[in-house]
Structure 1
Amino acid sequence: MANKSGVENLIFSKGEKITSHNFTGNVWLNNLVQADSINQNAVGSVTFEPGARTKWHSHPSGQIILALDGVGYYQEKGSPKVVVKKGEVIKCPADIPHWHGASVDAKFIQVVITGREKGETIWLEPVSEEDYVK
């Protein structure tokens, strides 16, 4: 959300633009905590522009999504898409393919907490336009 001077009031800085093929659209990542041998959770703030999203993917140790601003989508394989709004929390079960990102007409800012003790994210196929808009 921008203040009167047009500057965004962000909890965390936007970070670096992601150039990975695992995302569609414009997405920024601020790595807040890197997983290590003492604490195997990675924490990042992710900003999705309207229409931006991840590919389908899964996490061997699960993930938690904290919605900070905007309107997002979350969907698990075989389940309906869920609209996610500021202040809501999503718990992604381990090894369940899912995707998340911004809604069609609003940005979405989230903090993700991802367990790394059983391995890295497993990236799958892109989210089809049909899945994204339905």
Structure 2
Amino acid sequence: MIEISTDKSKLQVEVIHQFLTETYWAKGRTLDDVKISIENGLCFGVYIENKQIGFARIVTDYVIFAYVMDVFILPEYRKKGYSKQLMGAINLEPRLQKCKVWMLKTSDAHNLYKQFGYTELKKPEKLMERLL
């Protein structure tokens, strides 16, 4: 059985950093970058017997907007429904219930997120980005 917690003191930052630096979306992110992003986000840790096996981070104003980021389950724990449990916990988090706009980016997990109501942009011409 897994535990999903928003208690930042339980996060195993080295595990998070090690995994993220091997991903397509966070390659090159430093340990300090990971620490700062954790400090400034609503974080969800996924644990089995106090060992961190997953993570997600939400950037939000708690009223209008929530951006889902850095979602992962360690490879050896995949295909057991843990990512679905994590996304379910995020969707049910009381502090996020007022948020009307939820967004995320993914290159490979569309099927997971579609199960939780995410779709392609209805009006992509309204969305802009600034990449540095």
Q: TM-score, normalised by structure 2?
A: 0.31
> As a proportion of its length, which structure holds more strand?
1
> As a proportion of its length, which structure holds more helix?
2
Q: TM-score, normalised by structure 1?
A: 0.30
Per chain length, whose mean CA-contact separation is higher, i.e. which structure has more relative contact order (CA < 8 Å, sep 6+)? Answer: 1
